[in-house]
């Protein structure tokens, strides 16, 4: 289970808490998902308002209004109207969630760049084409957390797309015959645009040739990207 401190530093969390507390004129407390304050353990546990902090569908924390115990804490200027506090708590939770998502995106980008660097190092070595293609499918599958990945290359006459490498695909699916480019609107679209084409549901999209096989394989959405070298179309990933 992810924790707030997995995403944000203590300094950032305290800065957000102090800033929103100053606006509210009373304590706005950042808590763990279980409700324990991240700072100031002497806060009273009787919180009248509570908003969960959700990132990628997982509750990683909460923000709450709190009152200090007799031992001390932030002095209150007075009781604010609940609708105002509700909105302020939701805004505070949204700000923290955006900060967390920003951290996630930066980490994901760094991971992708590291993967790309490893791929380039591997491809620059003296490897056979088949080894390179197999490495591509494994790496892309892992990097995108996809169910499966395959490379289809054009035949010498440019009429067929033949699977040359695949990862996490059953032998039954691989046994199907090569795809004729003239019979595949999806691959034609990829080559015409020279850009990736997203398919929301390969089981129903009429541009997909082997819809029944895709259904049996458990495939749903797909991203098809052209493989181009020196402006020459070589195949599809």
Residue 233: burial class (beta carbons within 10 Å; 0-12, 13-18, 19+): middle
pLDDT at 42: 63
Residue 33: burial class (beta carbons within 10 Å; 0-12, 13-18, 19+): middle
Rg for the chain (alpha carbons), in Å?
Answer: 26
Average predicted confidence (pLDDT) for the chain: 84
Non-local CB neighbours of 233 within 8 Å, separated by 6+ positions:
154, 191, 194, 226, 227
pLDDT at 150: 92
Ranking 35-49, 98-112, 203-217 by mean pLDDT, the lowest is 35-49
Structure tokens that stand for 150 in this block: 């395959």
What is the reported pTM? Answer: 0.54
Q: What are the Cα distances from residue 215, in Å, to 130, 161, 224?
A: 28, 20, 17
- Is the predicted pLDDT of residue 80 greater than 70, yes or no? no
Strands 222-224 and 197-199: antiparallel
DSSP string of 85-152?
HHHHHHHHHHHHHHHHHHHHHHHHHHHHHHHHHHHHHHHTSS--HHHHHHHHHHHHHHHHT-S-EEEE
Given a contact cutoff of 8 angstroms between Cβ atoms, the answer to whether 214 and 169 are in contact is no
Residue 175: burial class (beta carbons within 10 Å; 0-12, 13-18, 19+): exposed
Three-state DSSP class for 29? strand
* CA pair distance 102, 162, nearest whole angstrom: 40
Helices (H), the chain: 4-7, 10-24, 82-123, 129-144, 171-174, 185-193, 211-217
- Is the predicted pLDDT of residue 125 greater than 90, yes or no? no
Percent of the chain exceeding pLDDT 90 equals 40
Q: Which fold has domain 129-236?
A: Beta-Lactamase (3.30.450)
**pLDDT-derived band of residue 145, with 50, 70 and 90 as boundaries?**
confident
Query: In the beta sheet, which residues pair with residue 222?
Result: 199
Query: In the beta sheet, which residues pair with residue 65?
Result: 28
- Is the predicted pLDDT of residue 121 greater than 80, yes or no? no
Non-local CB neighbours of 22 within 8 Å, separated by 6+ positions:
none
Given a contact cutoff of 8 angstroms between Cβ atoms, the answer to whether 131 and 149 are in contact is no
List the domain boundaries for the chain.
Answer: 4-109, 129-236
- Is the predicted pLDDT of residue 40 greater than 90, yes or no? no
**pLDDT-derived band of residue 229, with 50, 70 and 90 as boundaries?**
confident
* CA pair distance 40, 216, nearest whole angstrom: 55
């Amino acid at each position: 289970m992810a924790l707030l401190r997995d995403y944000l530093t203590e300094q950032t969390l305290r800065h957000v808490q102090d800033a929103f507390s100053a606006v509210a004129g009373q304590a706005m407390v950042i808590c763990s998902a279980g409700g324990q304050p991240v700072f100031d353990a002497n806060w009273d546990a009787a919180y009248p308002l509570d908003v969960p902090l959700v990132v990628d569908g997982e509750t990683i924390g909460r923000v709450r209004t709190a009152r200090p115990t007799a031992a001390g804490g932030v002095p209150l200027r007075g009781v604010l109207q609940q609708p105002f506090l509700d909105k302020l708590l939701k805004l505070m939770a949204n700000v923290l969630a955006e900060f967390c998502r920003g951290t996630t995106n930066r980490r994901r980008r760094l991971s992708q760049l590291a993967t790309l660097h490893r791929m380039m190092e591997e491809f620059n070595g003296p490897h056979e084409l088949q080894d390179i293609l197999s490495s591509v499918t494994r790496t892309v599958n892992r990097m995108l957390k996809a169910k499966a990945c395959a490379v289809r290359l054009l035949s010498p006459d440019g009429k067929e797309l033949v699977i040359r490498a695949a990862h996490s695909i059953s032998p039954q699916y691989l046994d199907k015959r090569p795809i004729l480019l003239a019979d595949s609107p999806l691959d034609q679209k990829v080559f015409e645009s020279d850009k990736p084409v997203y398919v929301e549901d390969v089981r129903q999209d009429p541009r997909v040739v082997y819809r029944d096989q895709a259904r049996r394989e458990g495939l749903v959405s797909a991203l098809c990207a052209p493989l181009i070298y020196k402006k020459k179309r070589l195949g599809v990933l």
